Amino acid sequence: MKFFHESDSVVLFPVEENGLTIDDVLIKNQISVRLMRKLKKEKRIIFNNKFSQKNEKVKIGDVVGIFMEDEIDNIEPEDIPLDIIYEDFDLLIINKRPHIVVHPTPKCISGTLANGISSYYMKKDIHKKIRFVNRLDMDTSGIIIVGKNPFAHQQMALQLENDMIEKKYLAVVEGIVKEDEGTIDIPIGKEEKDILNKVMNDGKRSISKYKVLKRYRKSTFLEVQILTGKNHQIRVHMNYIGHPIIGDSLYYKRSSFIDRQALHAWSIKFSHPRYKNIVEFKAPLPEDMKYLIEKLKMN
């Protein structure tokens, strides 16, 4: 008999109450209908160490599970260094450096973070597609989460959709922010032909909370938590209240001290997709932002 063990391809759910079926157990563990349908079609649902095709009754002590077969990823592997913060069966958490695109696009088909992860997967004999949970702009540094299997990605996407992932950024902005803390609750949208997002009355509700970490002569170092996930949210909000991010050439202007927007995704907290405990990861402030801060202290 084949014995299934927890791995990046196998997730097991011990049954903790009577009167349920296999489907009930999967639903209670937030397996989406779409993923469940796919697993049933491929005969990948496990019940007590064997594959089951029926929605059988279960009892306390039984074990239900899912098996996710190997996948082929079509992203070209490139030997790009990765700053890996954490890795387990389900998650790969990376500190993305600035000036690198997350995923290939028609205008940028190589040299992306995904190309680097593809190479890493190949070296580690990981046969899974690359599934990003969150994205960062090319010139924003910091934490990127990758789901290493369909289960992990689906579980993390559910948390993201329900605003259950706590995301905090570090930013250096122009001017002296007077209030020690504040909340910006202003809708953001985009006109059909516009490139930039902007504050709009009929836009999507967007909420950012900021806290002053340090004030300099003509600038402020902030921690910003986004409670919603609108594209360019922090950049638009800070610009709107008169404190644009230094170096943000898209929404403000270039800086002689840093060649990108001074924005870094430094902290993320969420419920682990498999074990359900709360985990938190942090990425240290990058060198270019440290250099900027030292210059601002003198200017």
Are both 128 and 230 inside the same structural domain?
Answer: no
What's the pTM? 0.93
Q: What is the pLDDT of residue 273?
A: 97
137 an active-site residue?
yes
Q: What is the pLDDT of residue 195?
A: 80
Are both 180 and 293 inside the same structural domain?
Answer: yes
Please state the domain count of the chain.
Answer: 3
3-state secondary structure 126-158: CCCCCEECCCCCCCCEEEEEEECCHHHHHHHHH
Run of H or E including 13: strand 10-14
Establish if 123 belongs to a structural domain: yes
Are both 144 and 261 inside the same structural domain?
Answer: no
Residue 22 has a CB neighbour count (10 Å cut-off) of 23
From 105, 135, 161, the end of a domain falls on 161
Segments forming the whole domain that contains residue 142:
84-161
Q: How many residues does the chain have?
A: 299
Establish if 74 belongs to a structural domain: no
Please list the pLDDT of the chain residue by residue as tens digits (299 residues): 467 899 999 999 999 999 999 999 999 999 998 999 999 999 999 999 999 989 999 999 999 999 999 999 899 999 999 999 999 999 999 999 999 999 998 888 899 999 999 999 999 999 999 999 999 999 999 999 999 999 999 999 999 999 899 999 999 999 999 999 999 999 999 877 788 899 999 999 999 999 999 999 999 999 999 999 899 999 999 999 999 999 999 999 999 999 999 999 999 999 999 999 999 999 999 999 999 999 999 87
Are both 118 and 25 inside the same structural domain?
Answer: no
Establish if 78 belongs to a structural domain: no
Establish if 75 belongs to a structural domain: no
Are both 289 and 194 inside the same structural domain?
Answer: yes
Establish if 170 belongs to a structural domain: yes
From 161, 195, 211, the end of a domain falls on 161
How many CA atoms are closer than 13 Å to the CA of 197, on its beta-carbon side?
A: 21
Are both 151 and 177 inside the same structural domain?
Answer: no
Rounded to an integer, what distance in angstroms lies between the CA atom of residue 177 and that of residue 222?
Answer: 9
Are both 178 and 238 inside the same structural domain?
Answer: yes
Q: Which of 292, 267, 173, 266 is nearest to 221 (CA)?
A: 173
Which position among 137, 139, 248, 288 bears the catalytic label?
A: 137
Are both 154 and 188 inside the same structural domain?
Answer: no
Backbone angles phi, psi at 8, to 5 degrees: -70, -10
Q: What is the pLDDT of residue 2?
A: 63
- At residue 29, what is the residue type? N
Q: Which of 80, 174, 94, 199 is nearest to 136 (CA)?
A: 94
Read off the CATH number of the domain in which 194 is found: 3.30.2350.10
Are both 251 and 266 inside the same structural domain?
Answer: yes
Are both 171 and 293 inside the same structural domain?
Answer: yes
Establish if 190 belongs to a structural domain: yes
Rounded to an integer, what distance in angstroms lies between the CA atom of residue 204 and that of residue 230?
Answer: 8
Q: Which of 240, 133, 220 is nearest to 180 (CA)?
A: 220
From 161, 187, 214, the end of a domain falls on 161
Q: What is the pLDDT of residue 191?
A: 78
Run of H or E including 290: helix 287-298
Run of H or E including 113: helix 113-124
Are both 102 and 186 inside the same structural domain?
Answer: no
Establish if 196 belongs to a structural domain: yes
Are both 156 and 176 inside the same structural domain?
Answer: no
Rounded to an integer, what distance in angstroms lies between the CA atom of residue 212 and that of residue 96?
Answer: 24
